[in-house]
Amino acid sequence: METPILPMKGDPGDANELYIKREDLLPFSMGGNKVRIAEAYFRDMIEKGCRSMVIYGSRHSNLCRVLSALCASRGVPCRMICSHEEGEASEATNNTVLVEWTGTQMVHCGKQNIAATVESVMGELEREGKAPYYIFGNQYGTGNEGTAAAAYALAYEEILRYEKRQGISFDYIFLPSGTGATQSGLICGKLLAGDQASVMGVMISSREPKRAREVIRQGVASYFEKTGKELPEGYETEICLLDQYRQGGYGAYDERIEACIRETYCRTGVPLDPVYTAKAFWGMKEYLRENRIKGKKVLFLHTGGGPLFYDYLGKKKC
């Protein structure tokens, strides 16, 4: 389903024309980029002849929420490996509550034990004859980068169609970048179309920036390999990843993000969550201002995260 792209009212005196693509309005499990990505993983699981799904994420994970709902709705057994940062609070979020609703069994682990936990959960399901599929490939989380990227290579065509209909072209596309799957896909879509927009990932994870870039590079390369298309020379230069707006890292935010959430809601009615979309939206505005970028057409990809917006609301007085 095509999601709307709409002009977005910016701050008074904004120097650029802002647009927003509402991936948060995708009609399954409260939407977000993970709806497209979950469908791509599910299809890949079937194609590989697997019959159960092993998913991985933090307690904020929108991917785990959507994938567990997709598995439940299609009668496929699902297990979630839930990782915890050292010293992080481990209370439930709206997303983990919804994962539990689906009957998905949750296995908790620390950031140091991910590979061993993936191996043990996969081994268990194999012994039960359930032919498990791990969404991120091997126990180290590599080998399946191209699958999720494909979803956003395809979504890029929606952006191209909008540009054509409106007779405009975007100079920039900003988005929150976590695992990098969405950004990889957009870069693939851009390369395939020979489009001119710069795809700007605003890092929201605690990942080391060099490694994050490498994961995106692998995502792009593996999509081109999988689809038998020729990878354009110099494609690496398309990977723009901003690491200076992460504040304290994944899930951490201060009053600048909180102000951004309130102001964006009051000005435009668009909800942003502090972990992903508000951080990226704020980072985008900072970047445009710091670099004195003016008169450009800028698209923000609203990647969803609705349940986290409500987590935030639930804890703060308005």
Ligand X SMILES: *Cc1c(COP(=O)(O)O)cnc(C)c1O
187 touching ligand X, by CB under 6 A: no
Q: Which residue reads 């995260």 in tokens? A: 305
Q: How far is the CB of 134 from ligand X (least distance, A)?
A: 16
Considering only 31, 132, 146, 180, the residue that binds ligand X (CB under 6 A) is 180
Burial of 73 (0-12, 13-18, 19+ CB in 10 A): exposed
Tell me the C-alpha to C-alpha distance, in Å, between residue 40 and each of 51, 66, 188, 202, 217. Answer: 15, 12, 15, 23, 19
Q: How far is the CB of 28 from ligand X (least distance, A)?
A: 14
Q: How far is the CB of 150 from ligand X (least distance, A)?
A: 12
Considering only 42, 276, 282, 300, the residue that binds ligand X (CB under 6 A) is 276
Closer to ligand X by Cβ: residue 195 or 273: 273
CB neighbours of residue 45 within 10 Å: 23
Q: How far apart are CA 53 and CA 61, in angstroms?
A: 16
Closer to ligand X by Cβ: residue 34 or 297: 34
Question: Sign of dihedral through CA atoms 124, 128, 132, 137?
Answer: positive
176 touching ligand X, by CB under 6 A: yes
Closer to ligand X by Cβ: residue 19 or 281: 281
Closer to ligand X by Cβ: residue 15 or 25: 25
- Binders of ligand X among 31-50, rule CB under 6 A? 32-34
181 touching ligand X, by CB under 6 A: yes
146 touching ligand X, by CB under 6 A: no
202 touching ligand X, by CB under 6 A: no
Binding piece for ligand X, criterion CB under 6 A, among 4-12, 45-53, 120-128, 172-180: 172-180
Single-letter amino acid code for the residue at 60: H
Report the candidate in 11, 256, 63, 287 with the shortest Cα–Cα distance to residue 174: 287
Closer to ligand X by Cβ: residue 16 or 62: 62
Q: How far is the CB of 236 from ligand X (least distance, A)?
A: 18
65 touching ligand X, by CB under 6 A: no
Question: Is beta strand 172-177 parallel, antiparallel or unpaired with respect to 132-134?
Answer: unpaired
**Angle 89-68-253 (CA atoms, 0-180°, nearest 5)?**
30
Closer to ligand X by Cβ: residue 35 or 45: 35
93 touching ligand X, by CB under 6 A: no
Tell me the C-alpha to C-alpha distance, in Å, between residue 36 and each of 152, 182, 253, 303. Answer: 8, 10, 27, 11
Is 177 within 8 Å of 62 (Cβ atoms)?
Answer: no
Give the binding site for ligand X (CB under 6 A).
32-34, 62-63, 176-183, 276-277, 303-305
